[in-house]
């Protein structure tokens, strides 16, 4: 690797007179080349036009003392070395036209000479990677006119002390995102680690998906707090569940309205997007948003402007967006319910939060978290007896525990046991009772979903129902469901025989369906569609 120095010829510091005494004086640019422990292969002297004499002298002296050095020059054309705009543009132009070959060369930008403004500009250009390399700073010494020098690498991650501070700060942020819970699930931990990077570095929309109760809303709130602590947001956190927005109210809640926009609009209203200006807007259940609102939202994200309901004037609002959903948005696009372009916008950073049953390693630390939370909220410390604890944990981590509503279920479960505990001790009896209750809850939910079985029983005569295999029951239930949804028998037939009907020369979907139903003593018109 070659060492290349880029240095501004200093009108004052490099100019110590043209007489012999100059050899015994410190001249930063010249002196920097006099250290044998630092072999320089090339120097680029940046100079102003009026410094021709000083430039020539310096070049001659360098040539005389350093044998194998290449000397290049570049003229800077600013009138006033203290004018930030002029100096920055000139240095930026130099950086732009010069080809830096960092594979072959180490570049050092000398910041001792030049006006303070020039030094600041070099620093800025270095930090923004326009000047790739290290900064070098030199100073006089009592011992030798060569003086001393030190390099400064703005790649802060190379400094152990600074890197460990960054690491500590990042760990604190990660822990904040995890609500202080020491989670062990690999997938979840990796997700949060990346999310921390993104939250700190980016203002692009973030999409958080996952089933109910996995912590989407809580995570959005934590991201807001994190960004706020880092001074990246000054506005509010504004949350809305899109499933609650309907009709005129939806437009107006989000984008505001002007007085008289619709019946009942008795005064102007700002709307949530305005309220979130400089802050964060969390749109929960974004899949439920209506078509018009989706179009308007897309524009508000892309151009940061939108039109309040009933207004002819655009307003602007700058907010960070986090969207949450437990729906598969691709499927909603297929059904024409969600805009593909909107998804593309909000999908840049998508995080799917895993269900609690896929994070069984995290159940234990989460139980601790829920107990702490209970203690804080109720001012009463509660803990398990040790056998009770193992029993509960074994169940909680087993495949019998479906944790259907995820953290909501765990949260309720701990609250129940804590409330029933006497003297803050959760006993085995309480745990047994709780496990029973959870099982009933979860099984109940499954049976509930099967209430269609009851309906089937009702439609069929008892002797037919009794003889049905599970296979037939399942099939029949689906067929009846489709019949109920269809306009008429032909329509239902088309849906049900969608593939095989294409092989038939004459369409007979209705007859086929009629025959199928008849086997079970059913008639289309009695299915209550
Ligand atoms: N990572 C987590 N660990 C433990 N509890 C959590 C976590 N995330 C959320 N919770 C709790 O679970 C419940 C549901 O969280 P929420 O964010 O509302 O879920 P979602 O929005 O996905 O339905 C809340 O009581 C919340 O405090
Ligand atoms: Mg939620």
Average pLDDT of the residues in 317-340: 94
Residue 141 pLDDT class (50, 70, 90 cuts): very high
Q: Which atom of ligand 1 is the closest one to the Cα of 353?
A: 22
Q: Is the pLDDT of residue 83 over 70?
A: yes
Mean of pLDDT values over 248-272: 86
Report residue 494's pLDDT band, with 50, 70 and 90 as the boundaries: very high
Percent of the chain at pLDDT exceeding 70: 98
Q: What does the pLDDT read at residue 459?
A: 85
Closest-lying ligand 1 atom to the alpha carbon of residue 373: 27
- Are 433 and 386 contained in the same domain? yes
Ligand found nearest the CA of 368: 1
CA of 298 to the centre of ligand 2 (A): 22
Instruction: Name the residue at shortest CA distance from atom 8 of ligand 1.
Output: 215
Ligand nearest to the CA of 214: 1
Q: Is the beta carbon of 214 within 6 A of some atom in ligand 1? A: yes
The per-residue pLDDT for range 197-237, each reduced to its tens digit, is 999 999 999 999 999 999 999 999 999 999 999 899 999 99
Among 320, 325, 323, CA closest to 304: 320
Long-range contacts of residues 467-474, Cβ cutoff 8 Å, at least 24 apart? none
pLDDT at 116: 94
Kindly identify the ligand whose nearest atom is closest to the C-alpha of 211.
1
CB 243 within 8 A of CB 288: yes
Among 21-35, 43-57, 104-118, 145-159, whose mean pLDDT is lowest? Answer: 145-159
Burial 162-182 (b: 16+ CB within 10 A, else e): eeeeeeeeeeebbebbbeebe
Ranges assigned E (strand) in 63-111: 70-75, 105-110
Return the residue whose CA atom lies nearest to atom 24 of ligand 1: 408
In this structure, what are the phi and psi dihedrals at residue 411, rounded to the nearest 5 degrees? -60, -50
* Least confident residue range of 234-248, 290-304, 308-322, 451-465: 451-465
Nearest atom in ligand 1 to 219's CA: 17
Number of domains in the chain: 4
Q: Which ligand is nearest to the CA of 405?
A: 1
Q: Identify whether residues 216 and 253 lie together within a single domain.
A: yes
Ligand closest to 185 (CA) is 1
Q: What is the pLDDT of residue 507?
A: 81
> Which of 61-75, 157-171, 185-199 shows the lowest per-residue confidence on average (mean pLDDT)?
157-171
Please report whether residue 260 resides in a domain: yes
Residue 271 shares a structural domain with residue 206: yes
Q: Measured from the CB, is residue 366 less than 6 Å from ligand 1?
A: yes
pLDDT tens digit sequence for 1-11: 999 999 999 99
> Are 255 and 229 in the same domain?
yes
Residues 339 and 369 in one domain: no
Quote the ligand 2 centre to 213 CA distance (angstroms): 7
CATH number, domain of 68, equals: 3.40.50.10770
Find the 409 Cα to ligand 1 centroid distance in Å. 10
Q: Which of 449, 469, 504 is the last residue of a domain?
A: 449
**463: pLDDT strictly greater than 90:** no
**441 CA from centroid of ligand 1 (Å):** 19
Q: Is residue 159 part of a domain?
A: no
What is the 284 CA–ligand 2 centroid distance (Å)? 6
Given this model, what pLDDT does residue 163 score?
83
Ligand 1 neighbourhood includes 216 CB (under 6 angstroms): yes
Residue 447: the pLDDT is 52
Domain boundary among 102, 132, 154: 154
Q: Whose CA is nearest to atom 17 of ligand 1?
A: 215
Same domain, 27 and 130: yes
Nearest ligand 1 atom to the CA of 362 is 3
The answer to whether position 100 is within a domain reads: yes
Determine if ligand 1 sits within 6 Å of the CB of residue 412: no
pLDDT tens digits for 421-452? 988 999 999 999 999 999 988 886 555 445 66
C-alpha to C-alpha distance for 271 and 253, rounded to whole angstroms: 5
Ligand 1 atom nearest the C-alpha of 284 is: 21
Do 51 and 190 sit in the same domain of this protein? Answer: no
User: What does DSSP say about strands 42-47 and 70-75: parallel, antiparallel, or unpaired?
Assistant: parallel
- Say whether pLDDT at 479 is over 80: yes
Q: Which residues surround ligand 2, an ion (CB under 5 A)?
A: 216-217, 284
213 occurs within a structural domain: yes
Say yes or no: 340 and 300 in one domain: yes
The CATH number covering residue 200 comes to: 3.40.50.300
Distance (angstroms) between ligand 2 centre and the Cα of 211 equals: 9
In three-state secondary structure terms, 47 is strand
Measured in Å, residue 215 CA sits from the centre of ligand 2 at 7
| 412 within a domain of the structure (yes/no) | yes
State the residue range of the domain holding 412. Answer: 356-449
Distance CA 75, CA 49 (A): 6
Can you tell me the mean pLDDT for 122-149?
93
When the pLDDT of each residue in the chain is averaged and rounded to a whole number, the result is 92
Residues 181 and 324 reside in one and the same domain = yes
Do 319 and 377 fall into the same domain? no
- Measured from the alpha carbon of residue 216, the closest ligand is 1
How far apart CA 58 and CA 52 sit, in angstroms, is: 10
Q: Which residues, 6+ apart, have CB-to-CB distance to 257 below 8 Å? A: 251, 265, 268, 269, 271, 308, 309, 310, 311
Residue holding tokens 């070049």? 59
How much is the pLDDT for 529?
60
What pLDDT, on the 0 to 100 scale, is given for residue 159? 80
HSE-CB for 192 with a 13 A CA cutoff: 28
Model pLDDT for residues 359-385, shown as the tens digit of each residue: 999 999 999 999 999 999 999 999 999
Residue 268 banded pLDDT, cuts 50, 70, 90: confident
Rounded to the nearest whole angstrom, what is the distance from the C-alpha of residue 417 to the centroid of ligand 2? Answer: 24
Q: Where a domain ends, among 325, 352, 379?
A: 352
Q: Mark whether 47 and 181 lie in a shared domain.
A: no
**Do 131 and 247 belong to one domain?**
no
Does 179 contact ligand 1 (Cβ within 6 A)?
Answer: yes
- Give the mean model confidence (pLDDT) for residues 309-316: 90
Name the burial class of residue 518, with classes exposed (0-12), middle (13-18) and buried (19+) by CB atoms within 10 angstroms of its CB.
exposed
Whole-structure pTM value: 0.71
The number of the ligand 1 atom at minimal distance from the alpha carbon of 366 is 4
Average confidence (pLDDT) over 449-475? 81
CATH code where residue 414 lies = 1.10.8
Residue 246 lies in a domain: yes
């Amino acid at each position: 690797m070659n060492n290349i120095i880029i240095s501004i010829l200093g009108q004052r510091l490099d100019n110590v007179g043209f007489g012999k005494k100059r050899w015994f004086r410190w001249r930063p640019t010249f002196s920097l080349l006099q250290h044998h422990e630092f072999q320089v292969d090339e120097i680029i002297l940046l100079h102003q036009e009026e410094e021709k004499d000083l430039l020539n002298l310096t070049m001659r002296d360098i040539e005389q003392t350093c044998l194998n050095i290449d000397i290049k020059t570049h003229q800077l054309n600013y009138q006033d070395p203290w004018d930030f705009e002029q100096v920055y543009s000139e240095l930026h132009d130099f950086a732009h036209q010069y080809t830096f070959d960092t594979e072959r060369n180490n570049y050092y930008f000398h910041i001792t000479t030049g006006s303070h403004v020039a030094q600041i500009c070099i620093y800025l250009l270095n930090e923004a990677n326009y000047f790739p390399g290290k900064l070098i700073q030199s100073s006089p010494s009592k011992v030798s006119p060569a003086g001393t020098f030190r390099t400064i690498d703005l790649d802060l991650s190379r400094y152990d002390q600074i890197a460990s501070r960054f690491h500590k700060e990042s760990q604190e942020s990660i822990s904040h995102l995890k609500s202080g819970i020491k989670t062990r699930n690999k997938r979840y931990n990796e997700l949060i680690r990346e999310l921390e990077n993104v939250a700190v570095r980016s203002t692009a929309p973030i999409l958080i998906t996952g089933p109910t109760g996995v912590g989407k809303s809580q995570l959005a709130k934590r991201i807001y707090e994190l960004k706020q602590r880092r001074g990246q947001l000054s506005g509010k956190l504004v949350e809305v569940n899109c499933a609650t927005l309907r009709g005129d109210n939806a437009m107006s809640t989000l984008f505001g309205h002007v007085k008289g926009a619709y019946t009942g609009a008795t005064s102007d209203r700002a709307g949530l997007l305005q309220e979130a200006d400089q802050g964060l807007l969390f749109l929960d259940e974004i899949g439920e948003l209506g078509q018009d609102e989706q179009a308007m939202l897309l524009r508000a994200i892309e151009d940061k402007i939108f039109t309040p309901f009933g207004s002819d004037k655009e307003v602007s609002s700058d907010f960070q967006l986090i969207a949450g959903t437990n729906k598969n948005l691709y499927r909603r696009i297929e059904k024409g319910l969600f805009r593909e372009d909107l998804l593309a916008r909000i999908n840049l950073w998508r995080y799917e939060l895993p269900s609690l049953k896929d994070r069984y390693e995290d159940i234990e630390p989460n139980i601790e978290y829920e107990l702490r939370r209970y203690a804080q909220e109720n001012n009463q410390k509660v803990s398990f007896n040790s056998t009770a604890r193992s029993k509960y944990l074994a169940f909680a981590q087993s495949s019998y525990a479906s944790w259907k509503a995820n953290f909501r279920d765990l949260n309720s479960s701990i609250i129940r046991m804590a409330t029933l505990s006497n003297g803050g001790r959760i006993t085995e009896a309480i745990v047994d009772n709780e496990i029973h209750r959870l099982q009933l809850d979860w099984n109940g939910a499954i049976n509930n979903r099967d209430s269609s079985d009851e309906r089937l029983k009702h439609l069929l005569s008892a002797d037919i129902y009794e003889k049905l295999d599970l296979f037939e029951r399942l099939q029949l239930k689906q067929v009846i469901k489709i019949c109920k949804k269809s306009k008429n028998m032909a329509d239902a037939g088309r849906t049900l025989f969608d593939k095989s009907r294409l092989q038939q020369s004459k369409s007979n979907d209705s007859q086929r369906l009629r025959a199928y139903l008849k086997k079970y003593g059913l008639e289309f018109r009695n299915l209550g569609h």
